[in-house]
Amino acid sequence: MIGQASSYLSGRKIGKRMLMVACLMVVVFALAACGNNKNGNNASPDSKSSAAATASASATGSANPSASPSVAAQTGTITYASEAGPIEVPANPQRVVVLSGYTGDVLQLGVPLVGVDSWSLNNPRFAEKLQGVTEVSDEDVEKIIELSPDLIIGSSDSKNQDKLKQIAPLVTYTYNKVDYLTQYLEIGKALNKEKEAQAWIDDFKKRATEAGEQIKAKIGADATVSVFEAYDKEVYTFGDAWGRGTEVLFQLMGLNMQPKVKEATAKDGYFTLSAEVLPDYAGDYIVLSKEPGADASFQQTATYKNIPAVKKQSRIRSRCADVLL
């Protein structure tokens, strides 16, 4: 995260206390950028899947599915009203396979996983909890059979759904049909952990809102934030519902999106940029998401280095190091 310290990192000598605030800001935005994505928006912006094709910052529609309050004691199942219709699922699932971006939701609810998608397995934030978990895709039908799952969670456009349903109950979700917190609640219902999911959501909203107020008190109520990411050979910026922490930064924390970014991302949720126009979309603060192996050469250009927020980066980093070491 690159921050432009305008109001509290002025030309005067910066005291340790105020500098510590700046350092904490760096940490907060960095964590927000890597925050758990609850509705699978970590897919690459140019993905050809229907998920990417239908995602939009202004997406509407609600599945409003809910779990039946009655539990069939004899079978150990509940009826979950999924967007595809009622489905019997385990009341206490112990071997779950996730074929799309919902691994973090299942982990947060403490439900055992035996197979997950490659994106999840390669996520360093999940590494410790996914030790021993098998990488699978919707094409690995035989491998999934060997895992003997009691529940499979996938996307509405997952392949081989008829075959997967023969292995275990299959619950699917349409990407971005509901917001990320509603999505988390729905997965909680499917896992028979609705109360736990709702409690986490309430606490998360409270903490994020409080953090947003603290941040705005330090950077100014009018300060703007932009989120950039280098992917493959392109540079993207994101709206308020395409992962990279945008839902947290803009929806819950209430931070201000840079105006041109807000306009450019209104339709698709993201926007492709050339290195030459990056300054036009740069906010007072920049959250920079980096995809391993992506072309980050734009960071070496004079255009990028002369962005006001970027020019403050090395100064803040060096002073943070002096304080924190």
147-179 residue pLDDT tens: 999 999 999 999 999 999 999 999 999 988 999
Domain membership flag for residue 57 = no
DSSP H or E stretch at residue 263: helix 259-264
> What per-residue confidence (pLDDT) applies to 243?
86
SS3 246: helix
- Domain finish residue from 126, 154, 173: 173
Supply the CATH number for residue 128's domain: 3.40.50.1980
> What per-residue confidence (pLDDT) applies to 107?
97
Domain membership flag for residue 201 = no
Contacts of 278 (CB under 8 A, 6+ apart): 228, 235, 298, 303, 304, 307
Residue 260: Cβ-neighbour burial (10 angstroms; 0-12, 13-18, 19+): middle
Residues spanned by the domain of 158: 67-173
Q: At what angle do helices 194-219 and 180-190 cross, to 10 degrees?
A: 160
Domain membership flag for residue 315 = yes
Minimum mean pLDDT range among 117-131, 200-214, 299-313: 299-313
In order of 15, 89, 138, 146, 160, the CA distances from 142 in angstroms are 61, 21, 10, 6, 11
Contacts of 303 (CB under 8 A, 6+ apart): 275, 276, 278, 279
Domain membership flag for residue 60 = no
> What per-residue confidence (pLDDT) applies to 87?
97
> What per-residue confidence (pLDDT) applies to 175?
86
Which residue in this structure is represented by tokens 């392109």? 234
CB 152 within 8 A of CB 101: no
Are 73 and 32 in a shared domain?
A: no
Are 213 and 320 in a shared domain?
A: yes
Are 227 and 134 in a shared domain?
A: no
Distance CA 204, CA 39 (A): 16
Are 24 and 80 in a shared domain?
A: no
Are 150 and 83 in a shared domain?
A: yes
Domain membership flag for residue 12 = yes
Domain membership flag for residue 212 = yes
Are 10 and 99 in a shared domain?
A: no
Are 223 and 297 in a shared domain?
A: yes
Distance CA 249, CA 208 (A): 9
Please state the domain count of the chain: 2
Are 272 and 320 in a shared domain?
A: yes
Confidence of residue 4 (pLDDT cuts 50, 70, 90): very low
Are 14 and 71 in a shared domain?
A: no
SS3 99: coil
Distance CA 180, CA 291 (A): 22
Domain membership flag for residue 48 = no
189-248 residue pLDDT tens: 999 999 999 999 999 999 999 999 999 999 999 999 999 998 888 899 999 998 888 999
Are 212 and 311 in a shared domain?
A: yes
What is the model's pTM?
0.71
Q: What is the mean pLDDT of residues 31-54?
A: 40
Q: What is the mean pLDDT of residues 7-14?
A: 30
Are 162 and 218 in a shared domain?
A: no
Are 23 and 103 in a shared domain?
A: no
Domain membership flag for residue 56 = no
> What per-residue confidence (pLDDT) applies to 70?
39
